Amino acid sequence: MPALINSSSPFPEPDPRLIRIAEDLKPKLNKTAMPALEVIEVERDDATILGWTKKHAEKQLHEIPPLTSGQQFIVDFGDHLVASRLDFDVAAISHDIEPADSPARIKLTFGEILNDVAESFEPYEGFLSKAWLPEETIVLQKPYVKPAPMAITNRYAFRYVKFEVISTSIRFGLRFSNIVATAVSSATRDPLPALTFSSAEAKSLSLLSTDFDLLRRIDTVAIATLRDCMQTVYEDGPRRDMRLWIGDLRLQALCAYATFKDYDLVKRCLYLFAAMPFNEEGLLCACAYEDPEPHTGGNSIVDYSLLFTNTLLDYIEASGDQETGHDLYAIAEKQFHLALRRVGEDFIYNVPVPKDLLGGGEWHFIDWNEELDKSTAFQCIVIFCTKALIKLASTLGKPEPVFAAPAYNAKLSEAIYAKAFDGKAFVSGPKKQLSWASNAFAVLAGVSKSKEEGQEALKAAYESAASIKGNTPYLHHYLCEAFIEADLPELALKHIKEYWGSMIQSGFDTFPEAWDPLKPRFSPYGSFASMSFCHAWSCTPALLLRRLGLE
């Protein structure tokens, strides 16, 4: 076991002024009482992508005979939600005249998808903590014939809940009623206007009327994903992780400007990061915790610390709040001072070989993909972010950042173009690996010399079977963002329909953290059940579809 540190934090003290600003923006969550709608039965169905199908149970909740040891039922709340509590009533119904004469144990399992409530979590082979598995067992010490209120007060994300009676005595069973979840979000649960399809847009995007339903469903699910991640911060996943990450925040914020018109929660999150640097130099942490008091996450991701600038710029552009820009500009700029130390005299950014899966202190993320050579993509991200910094300085009337002056940025571009462009597409590393990541970020960074060159590079990466693709919707998003940037809206739309559409076909009510339609049980964490099936960085169709002109 590693040496144990004491309880003093290894991180700099949070800046009290910045923390105060963040905490003053902490939203009061909207609460919606959501009753369980019906009892369902879940059956094995190999014709479905995830292996399960549901049907209405024969009996309604009040018709189910009292449950004895080993019996169970599953309720469906009709939609994904994040519940700050789950309330229900339990009555102990005797089989004969003897009243309930023992405690009862009740296990609840919270399912974002049917698999959660249909399959056993055992054996658990994930490498994230088993404590994340969404289940609790509670003891009702004195069951009684009159319904008694019980509650789960830990927060869970779910659409389905399995109620299992672990044990009663032989004398009684349990009848459940009034199952009501308190759904929470800082966003509204009221539905936003559905996407409309004007004939001009439909024509320009070659949309068939059969596409409309799918795109509307993708948009609805994307917005539900965003909503359920919007708590007192922009969480990455309300089922697992439950915290704020810069890379996720950027995408969530862009989606929220396009939908819920949120600015304050974004501002709160920007200030939380700004207030709690990872080290004394001022490097930003990649993630932040807020409970029971804001504290620094224990890692830093280079791309995320640079993307803080883009997030800040996006925020100012969306909200018009220049004051926040002035307040946080120096912190944004600092990240470049720190990151660009890795740029050599050849103007090539040196991505170190990761020391472990999370990259140690030099974590370069881009995607959950151990096969991916990150060097070309990363240099393009640096350029992409540096451009945002230059624009931010300009917007705020600040002097142009010396190290990021267009001239310097041009040298970074030229260096990676010379190194990575093979005449058709951008490749990466000694093996000249072709990937989505290299080409998407090359286009977003404007490294390609012309619109046509960018289009060809993107198409080459997208259409080649050997190309390294994306494992997470995060990278799929940047691919689509690049399609739009390269004026290939039809490819963006095609990809949204195919990729996010395959999630819809799989039955997701919110979009998951990682998804490969060819490997539906792929998880970056060794276990499907340790995934978050509602994940921040997967909500971006809500943005992309609007960027494509649909509203």
Q: Given the rule CB under 8 A, which residues bind a second copy? A: 1-7, 9-11, 65-66, 68-69, 91, 93-99, 101-105, 127-132, 136-137, 139, 141-142, 144-146, 148, 154-155, 166-171, 173, 241-242, 289, 291-292, 295-299
**Using an 8 Å Cβ cutoff, are 126 and 189 in contact?**
no
Structure tokens at 259: 């939908």
**H-run or E-run covering 237:** none
DSSP letter (8 states) at residue 191: P
Structure tokens at 214: 């799918």
* Residue placing its CB nearer to a second copy in the complex, 7 or 450: 7
Composition of the chain by helix, strand, coil, percent to 5: 40, 20, 40
How far apart are CB 117 and a second copy at their closest, in Å? Answer: 18
How far apart are CB 114 and a second copy at their closest, in Å? Answer: 23
* Residue placing its CB nearer to a second copy in the complex, 66 or 541: 66
How far apart are CB 60 and a second copy at their closest, in Å? Answer: 16
- CA dist 311 to 217, 266, 492, 543, Å? 27, 9, 22, 14
Whose CA is closest to 176, among 164, 194, 186? 164
Directed axis angle between helix 322-339 and helix 264-275, to 10°?
40
* Residue placing its CB nearer to a second copy in the complex, 241 or 303: 241
What amino acid occupies position 130? Answer: K
How far apart are CB 143 and a second copy at their closest, in Å? Answer: 9
Q: How far apart are CA 325 and CA 333, in angstroms?
A: 11
What amino acid occupies position 48? Answer: T
Phi–psi pair at 441, nearest 5 degrees = -75, -25
* Residue placing its CB nearer to a second copy in the complex, 128 or 205: 128
- Long-range CB contacts (< 8 A, 24+ apart) of 199-205? 201/548, 201/549, 201/550, 204/489, 204/549, 205/489, 205/490, 205/493, 205/548, 205/549
Q: How far apart are CA 396 and CA 315, in angstroms?
A: 13
Structure tokens at 47: 């014709």
* Residue placing its CB nearer to a second copy in the complex, 137 or 322: 137
* Residue placing its CB nearer to a second copy in the complex, 62 or 341: 62
* Residue placing its CB nearer to a second copy in the complex, 77 or 172: 172
* Residue placing its CB nearer to a second copy in the complex, 91 or 486: 91
Instruction: State the CB neighbour count (10 A cutoff) for residue 372.
Output: 22
Structure tokens at 422: 């093979």
How far apart are CB 278 and a second copy at their closest, in Å? Answer: 9
In three state form, how does the secondary structure of 435-487 look?
EHHHHHHHHHCCCCCCHHHHHHHHHHHHHCCCCECCCCHHHHHHHHHHHHHCC
How far apart are CB 177 and a second copy at their closest, in Å? Answer: 11
How far apart are CB 521 and a second copy at their closest, in Å? Answer: 22
How far apart are CB 250 and a second copy at their closest, in Å? Answer: 21
How far apart are CB 255 and a second copy at their closest, in Å? Answer: 25
Task: Look at the alpha carbons of 26, 27, 33, 37 in this order and tell me if their dihedral is positive or negative.
Answer: negative
Q: How far apart are CA 207 and CA 220, in angstroms?
A: 18
* Residue placing its CB nearer to a second copy in the complex, 49 or 166: 166
How far apart are CB 145 and a second copy at their closest, in Å? Answer: 5
* Residue placing its CB nearer to a second copy in the complex, 60 or 129: 129
How far apart are CB 253 and a second copy at their closest, in Å? Answer: 23
Q: What is the dihedral of CA 447, 346, 366, 293, to 10 degrees?
A: -120
> How buried is 32 (Cβ within 10 angstroms: 0-12 exposed, 13-18 middle, 19+ buried)?
middle
How far apart are CB 132 and a second copy at their closest, in Å? Answer: 6
How far apart are CB 59 and a second copy at their closest, in Å? Answer: 14
* Residue placing its CB nearer to a second copy in the complex, 70 or 549: 70
* Residue placing its CB nearer to a second copy in the complex, 37 or 150: 150
* Residue placing its CB nearer to a second copy in the complex, 154 or 188: 154
Instruction: State the CB neighbour count (10 A cutoff) for residue 33.
Output: 9
Whose CA is closest to 286, among 266, 267, 306? 306
How far apart are CB 546 and a second copy at their closest, in Å? Answer: 34
Q: Please, which residues bridge with residue 54 across strands?
A: 42
* Residue placing its CB nearer to a second copy in the complex, 160 or 525: 525
Q: How far apart are CA 525 and CA 14, in angstroms?
A: 31
